[in-house]
Structure 1
Amino acid sequence: MAQTAHVMIVPYPSQGHVRPLLKLAFQIVDHGIKVTFVNTKSVQERLVTSSMIKEKIEGENRGIIFATVPDLWKPEGAPGERVSSMMKVMPGYLEDLIKKERFGCVIADGSLGWILEVAERNGIKHVGFFPLAVGSVALTTHIPELFKTEIVGTNGNMVETGEVIKLSLDIPPWKMTEVTWTFPGDTSSQGTQKMIFDICLSLQKTVDHEKWIICNTCYEIETPACNLIPKMLPIGPLITRDCYEESAGAGSFWPEDTSSLRWLDKKLPGSVVYIAFGSIAVVSQDQFNELALGLELSQRPFLWVVRPNRASGKIAKYPEGFLERVADLGKIIEWAPQEKVLAHPSVVCFISHCGWNSTMEGLTMGVPFLCWPSFGDQYHNQSYISDIWKIGLKLNPDQNVKLKKIVQESVMKGGSSYTNFETFINYLKQSCMS
């Protein structure tokens, strides 16, 4: 009897990383491959609050086994503490899992390259996954060259003020305030920016070491960047296949408010502004007030996702009388079934932080953007949206429809991402037989 291929998947424990890897897991099991998905305990508890994930964990779960490792850091701790604790704790737990199960391959978030080293140490094939634009990944592979040319220092800062980084004529350049590791307001050499920069350095090692690198994009929209990394296998966009139907999107850390869809059903086609800034990005209270008053003055119907910690990490306070004045105009919720919202005919534009998952979802649904990046790769994603694809800010509606068609066709039979994914699935099936 033929052995069923078994794959371990390990994401970095934040929604922007868990969400695309969980979507990938569901697509892999659809091809008859068993998946063990490894979360930290706190992440797993948050996923169970989602009705879809709970159903798949407690029901037949379509071949996915959810395993957990303990959290040994404080929830309010700095990102650096999380990375450091994971490096100390997870290898031992993964080694134990590997001894109990026969895995053919480990797929790990590219920022967790040391997990791939655990796989290699145990004779298991391994693949890196990047939830970023390929352009952002390509930038990290050029960091050693930036050191040599003295454009960037060891703490990630530009040596020369006003310097820009260009990888090719066809990829938007990076200003210092727009590089992947930038963190506005962080000036300490040992602060968050330095920690993110060190992770970017590790990404370069992962890209160099791995036979396969898979990414949530399609070749047609990032051709120049993909050509810089020949081993890159674009398999995106990773979109929930039934986003137009009943089940919620995979990997949400907050319960999705489906009443927003019933509210949208009552609105005219192409009339609603959708505002969402992802799971991490925050604005100041002043910016929050300006956005609220701007939405009110526009007199356009709006659906606004406001996390409890939206304004500078604290509970947002609305301008006096705002909620009463817009009661008939807009709807404010804590979390949305975003793919379904973007696919809804009533939505006319997307005010976004330009995280890569949101960027791919907006592209796939053909919704134009108004960009509000906050940190990291979001600035470069904005450059793609506004300067390369021209589907945000200065909108070209015809080009928007064209890109929607391109990314949707890439995941259909015969498309580039479809073909790449089939190649990858065949690799996974063979991995446990060799």
Structure 2
Amino acid sequence: MKWRSLIYLILILTAASCSEQDRESSVGDEWINSDTRVLFFDTLTVKSSTLRLDSVVVSGSRRTLIGQYDDPVFGKIRSKSYFQLVPSRYSIDSEAEFDSIAFILRYDKYTSGDTLFSQKYLISKVTEDLEPHDELYYNTSYYSSAADIIADHRFHPRPHSKDSTHISLDNEFGERLFKKLQTKEITDANKFLNEYPGILVEPEVPSTAILGFSKQSYIRIYYTNSGELVNEEETLDLLIISKNTFHNISAGLSTNLLPGLPPQNQSLPSWETGNQSFIQAGSGIATKIEIPHLKSLDDLEGTGNIVEAELKFTLNVSKNKTIRPVNDSLPLLIINQRNEIIGEVLGYHNQQTTARIIKEEYEFSTVEYSVPIKKFIDDKIYEYDGDNWSLLMYAPQINSSVDAYELFAEDAPKEQKMKIEITYAIYDE
């Protein structure tokens, strides 16, 4: 076949060009008594592309995200949050008088976007049962809410210097809730949730940042009890039910680099996206990496084995667009030909395999990563249906952040290009 001949030619030329690096080596007991020639090459074909997962599970996220900003690559990044809460108690003195009600949103210090500008949140009452439709909540999960707004709050975020933001809610809403508790119309969690399924907090357009909030946030009712000598100020808190509190995250795309993405079973090749591929948490955008011609190694003369295999790639952290995060490691999964996730990428001791930083050159706006993939390649060669396996690289904290990454692809300039480096031992020629 033509492609096999072509790959074979490339491998032979690479081996010849690297002949000065060839070395005698004993790489295992099997080869101790034989002459072993070790070849190193980095020209095996690799193909990268960008895909979007149909949905991301956000159940169990340790924070909730609220806000919006415009990203030059991913378009309008937006997150709104649904909260389910129940009272800490169901008793209020019959002589007590309502004062006010507020949502205390506690910062957890996560931010993305520009927090120098003021932000505005709108709060409304959820009007349908806030229960997962399929046992889990996803970034696409949506529930109806009332048209009436119970808070319209503008503030300057201070996530690193304050512990919370105080949002005053509509007094009529608060007093109605107060009376239902005070008159024993609501006496337990079931009755409360039938009347108040949840609260929706969403950003008003335009906004410039997404903020992370702790699930230790709460709604507080302030009221006064008449005492014999002085009036006593009291509070009653509505506490968050963590398992039914989640965010809905979307990436609008419609930019020059990413005008849109097809369904999950397809991906957008890097040559259509500026010789880059992309990752974005929250909305489930990830990079697919294919290694299509592994069996061309069979064309090498003699009997041999892969000794080492590493995938290397470079992040674009240029500040010309927007500040991108740099994470110590990036996780990978195995996907099939339909881009369905079928497993983790593991090492020979069943340890999780992640891409880790090996070089940082901020002068050139790049950070280089390397990930060992020998076991993945061995499995791909020898396992049933392995031919159809690819790698999927995704964002850490995929369900609790909106962090984004730009990867230089296989057709990028030489010092930036994505590549696979293989050390191959031939021990029987």
Larger RCO, structure (CA 8 Å, separation 6 or more) = 2
Higher helix share: 1
Report the TM-score, using the length of structure 1 for normalisation: 0.21
Report the TM-score, using the length of structure 2 for normalisation: 0.21
Q: Which protein is bigger by CA-based radius of gyration?
A: 2
Higher strand share: 2
